[in-house]
Amino acid sequence: MIKVQIQQMAIKSGYANAFQLQKALGISPTLAARLWRGDFTQIGLVTLDRLCKLLKCQTDKLIRFEIEAD
């Protein structure tokens, strides 16, 4: 299962909401809201790169895979 932790990392970095993330990344309000909620099925590498640079983290802090117990 894929776990998305963009909101948690953004808050840890001082971004209180999707609007602040949107302004910092220069992305659309819709994309910012989806990233904030973890409500997406794919993410572009450019967006992922911007997030990592902005939040000063590696990709595994934003999106990670967890093995589900049977």
CA distance 16 to 64: 22
Q: How far is the first Cα of the chain from the last one, in angstroms, to the nearest whole number?
A: 12
pLDDT tens across 11-64, in order? 999 999 999 999 999 999 999 999 999 999 999 999 999 999 999 999 999 999
Question: Whole-model pTM?
Answer: 0.89
Q: CA angle, 7 as apex, 70 and 30 as ends, to 5°?
A: 105
Q: CA angle, 38 as apex, 8 and 11 as ends, to 5°?
A: 20
Q: Determine phi and psi for 24, rounding to 5 degrees.
A: -70, -35
Show the domains of the chain with their CATH numbers: 2-65 (1.10.260.40)
CA distance 35 to 55: 13
